[in-house]
Amino acid sequence: MTAPVIVSCGEPAGVGPELAQKAFEALKGEVPFALIADPAHMDGPIAQINALSEVAQSDALPVLPHPFAGTAKPGAPDPTNAQGVIDVIARGVELTLNGEASALCTLPIHKKALKDGADFGYPGHTEYLAALADVDQVVMMLACPELRVVPTTIHIALADVPRALTQDLLRRTIQITHVALQRDFSIPAPRLAVSGLNPHAGEGGVMGREEIETITPVIEELSRNMDIRGPLPADTMFHGPARAGYDAAICMYHDQALVPIKTIDFASGVNVTLGLPFIRTSPDHGTAFDIAGRGIADPTSLIAALRMAWDMACKRG
């Protein structure tokens, strides 16, 4: 029997706690999960549990208690909670690696609060998870029912992308994506589309040579064993008929990947980290301090993230 999904609470002053409550009500009987959080930070009904084996018996949101140093005032992050946020992520990883949980779903964190309160040394969730798992490279995928996109370079300035975009980085990104599509999405022979970096995919070198010198050699190498094509002009890759021709799009930088998916399905996008030794998903939004505690936060992305984590876990067995 597949173990429950574990959810790390993220920033307690954000929308995470109320989203977890809403997701539990929406997914009762469909996706078993528990939240690691400080019970004092929760407003709705919860069931404190001592182990994930108790999740099935819970009529209210199951919570694995984890005490935090500070209070949780919606919209006002308390730096004294920073270490608690970090520790909850690590605890979720531990539960997943030891098999007590089948997957990890992370609620949004606030990077400034973590740096102010605990000198957090990572750009974000993904890099911290990679460090906890002792993995050199992971891949960020954004997924919704209509589209899966992978940015090869992520949180760097656009001016730095050409230098960061190496053949080795692109090759590993494609390989990790290909394996994940087979293992976690049950696609035996994934079809991959690779974008160019420059307008019109460089137009034969007139608008840049990255396609010729970096991207094309990798595609030619990998095409011996993969269904892969490109480099393609990014402005013609994402309309309906184009999307029907591939299972995932490999893009060269952050916005090239995220603009189309957020345009197509803003509410239901899921952030999936590929290349970890465990399953990790996350809703594709931030802490939303401006609406935290008002009861109006939309749980659609978290519900989608939990469903995807559970589906991936069931596929892995």
Binding-site residue positions for substrate: 125-126, 262, 271, 280
Give yes or no on whether 1-135+275-317 and 146-264 have one common fold. yes
For 251-260, the pLDDT digits (tens) are 999 999 999 9
Look-up of token digits 């996109």: 149
**CATH class (in words) of the domain with range 146-264:** alpha beta
CATH architecture of 1-135+275-317: 3-Layer(aba) Sandwich (3.40)
Q: What local confidence, expressed as pLDDT, does residue 150 receive?
A: 98
Determine which helix (DSSP H) or strand (DSSP E) holds 106, and give its type and residue range.
strand 103-106
Query: Cα angle vertex 58, ends 52, 62, to 5°?
Result: 55
> Which tens digit of pLDDT belongs to each residue from 31-49?
999 999 999 999 889 999 9
From 255, 311, 254, 304, select the one nearest 146 (Cα to Cα).
Answer: 304
- Percent of the chain predicted with pLDDT > 70: 100
Domain ranges, ordered by start, for the chain: 1-135+275-317, 146-264
Coil, helix or strand at residue 240:
helix
Q: What is the pLDDT of residue 155?
A: 83
When pLDDT is averaged across residues 280-307 and rounded to a whole number, the result is: 95
Q: What is the largest CA-CA distance in the chain?
A: 64
CA-based torsion, 241, 243, 246, 249: positive or negative: positive
Q: How confident is the model at residue 57 (pLDDT cuts 50, 70, 90)?
A: confident
Res 317: pLDDT:
74
The pLDDT of 90-117, averaged and rounded, is: 95
The per-residue pLDDT for range 3-32, each reduced to its tens digit, is: 999 999 999 999 999 999 999 999 999 999
Annotated binding site for a divalent metal cation: 155, 200, 254
Residue ranges for the known binding site are 125-126, 155, 200, 254, 262, 271, 280
**110 — pLDDT class (breaks 50, 70, 90):** very high
